[in-house]
Amino acid sequence: MSYAVGIDLGATNLRAGIVTEDGRIVYSEKRPTEGKRGSEHVVANIVALIQHCIEHGPVQASEVAGVGIGSPGIIDAKNGVVLSASSNIVGWWGTRIKENLEAALGLATFVDNDVNVISMGEHAFGAARGYNDFVCMALGSGVGGCVFLDGAIRRGSRGAAGELGHLTVDVNGRLCNCGRVGCLEMYVSAWAIAERARMRIAAGFESLISELAEGDLERIESRHVFEAAEKGDSLGTVIVGEVGRMLAAALADLANLVDPALFVIAGGVAQAGEPLRARIEEELRVAATVGSEPPPPVVLGQLGDEAGMLGGASLAFSGTTY
């Protein structure tokens, strides 16, 4: 049996898993990313984590086919180079991940954008298995996306396709840090959902959300909003409805543009579960054009926190960047 190491590179933590070809994680480890210490330090952490997994896991080094890693930012997937990225990892722009890891480990290494890699995992082992035309949207601290058509990721001319968080859903809306207004990320990301709850409670709305956050507005998180909604709280229900409408508006446009067979919602916010999924699907039926009815089904990602590792392994097994 052959194995691959899948790496999930997050702003806070690195996760590595040794994965079988049928998607079983036989060994995994996690450690801090330490992005503020710079790109060289982060690369060294990745190398050390992979070496630890191979040394302590249940497989021999000779059985490891390669390494796959999902990185934040716009990635030159062919050469494994970071073309642009946020400041979460100091100096990450220009990092030659593939070259550095192959030199240190002697293992074939494949690199792609983190949401692309999540999508690969869902395609190989999860909710999109058996689908060659789907859109994956990852909802977390930000909003990312991947358009998967004819069995391949659509990358665009510069590798920047799939930035779904910057679809405009309100032309008179909030200013985004990208410089535009009304971007989807400003309404459906985890921090945006929590901020909406804080503002309304501060304005006098009574809500279970406050109790779930132990009375401290600054401690409110998106999970409190979804938990309150599940328990019938009126403010939580209203906010979940607003999130569902914003997402449905974006997905309706994508349905018209690329005609996918499926929408997959992944990431931390998606862990809100069935109430959010059902609301998105309900709103999508309203937002979709008549000619596209019924709209593509909306499903939740099945891989959870393991999506990055499983997707990375899938990338390594494929020996290609789709």
Work out how many domains the chain is built from and give that number. Answer: 2
Let me know whether 202 and 69 are in one domain: no
The residue count of the chain comes to 322
Let me know whether 110 and 248 are in one domain: no
Share of the chain above pLDDT 90, in %: 76
Q: Give 292's pLDDT tier (boundaries 50, 70, 90).
A: low
Let me know whether 85 and 158 are in one domain: no
Who has greater pLDDT, 20 or 140? Answer: 20
CA distance readout (Å), 97 to 8, 78, 186: 13, 11, 30
Q: What is the mean pLDDT of residues 144-156?
A: 92
Specify the residue for token string 């309404």: 187
Rounded to whole angstroms, the Cα distance separating 307 from 68 reads 12
Let me know whether 294 and 251 are in one domain: yes
Q: Which residue pairs, CB below 8 angstroms and at least 24 apart, start in 173-176?
A: none
Q: What is the reported pLDDT for 161? A: 87
Specify the residue for token string 């862990």: 271
Who has greater pLDDT, 274 or 65? Answer: 65
> Which three-class secondary structure state does DSSP give residue 144?
strand
How many other C-beta atoms can be found within 10 angstroms of the C-beta atom of residue 303?
A: 19
On the question of pLDDT at 282 being above 70, the answer is: yes
Let me know whether 154 and 288 are in one domain: yes
On the question of pLDDT at 121 being above 80, the answer is: yes
Rounded to whole angstroms, the Cα distance separating 84 from 234 reads 41
On the question of pLDDT at 201 being above 60, the answer is: yes
Let me know whether 79 and 195 are in one domain: no
Rounded to whole angstroms, the Cα distance separating 229 from 144 reads 25
CATH number for the domain that contains residue 221? 3.30.420.40
What ranges make up the beta strands (E) of 140-278?
143-149, 152-153, 262-266
Q: What is the mean pLDDT of residues 122-148?
A: 94
Rounded to whole angstroms, the Cα distance separating 276 from 284 reads 12
Q: Are 146 and 16 in contact (CB under 8 A)?
A: no
Q: What is the reported pLDDT for 287? A: 78
Query: DSSP letters along 49-91, please?
Result: HHHHHHHHSSS-GGGEEEEEEEESSEEETTTTEEEE--TTSTT
Let me know whether 277 and 311 are in one domain: no
Let me know whether 162 and 95 are in one domain: no
Q: In 3D, which of 268, 293, 298 has the Cα closest to residue 280?
A: 298
Q: Which domain holds residue 82?
A: 3-123+305-318
Angle at 123 between CA 255 and CA 10, to 5 degrees: 95
Q: Give 83's pLDDT tier (boundaries 50, 70, 90).
A: very high
Let me know whether 247 and 213 are in one domain: yes
Q: What is the reported pLDDT for 1? A: 76
Q: In 3D, which of 20, 121, 22 has the Cα closest to residue 69?
A: 121
Q: Are 73 and 144 in contact (CB under 8 A)?
A: no
- Tell me: the pLDDT tens digits for 55-67? 999 999 999 999 9
On the question of pLDDT at 290 being above 70, the answer is: no
- Tell me: the pLDDT tens digits for 45-55? 999 999 999 99
Let me know whether 174 and 60 are in one domain: no
Who has greater pLDDT, 276 or 229? Answer: 229
On the question of pLDDT at 321 being above 80, the answer is: no
Instruction: List 29's β-bridge partners, or say none.
Output: 16
Count CA atoms closer than 13 A to 221's CA, side-chain side.
11
Average pLDDT, the chain: 92
Tokens of 33: 């990313």
Q: What is the mean pLDDT of residues 91-99?
A: 96
Q: Give 278's pLDDT tier (boundaries 50, 70, 90).
A: confident
Q: Give 320's pLDDT tier (boundaries 50, 70, 90).
A: low
Q: What is the reported pLDDT for 288? A: 74
Let me know whether 156 and 100 are in one domain: no
**Which of 15-24, 160-169, 201-210, 305-314 comes out lowest in average pLDDT?**
160-169
Q: In 3D, which of 319, 316, 318, 303 has the Cα closest to residue 118?
A: 303
Let me know whether 13 and 48 are in one domain: yes
On the question of pLDDT at 206 being above 80, the answer is: yes
- Tell me: the pLDDT tens digits for 171-195? 998 998 888 999 999 999 999 999 9
> Which three-class secondary structure state does DSSP give residue 217?
helix
Q: Are 49 and 57 in contact (CB under 8 A)?
A: no
Q: In 3D, which of 244, 243, 249 has the Cα closest to residue 289?
A: 249
| Burial 46-69, CB ≥16 within 10 A → b, else e | bbebbeebbeebebeeeebbbbbb
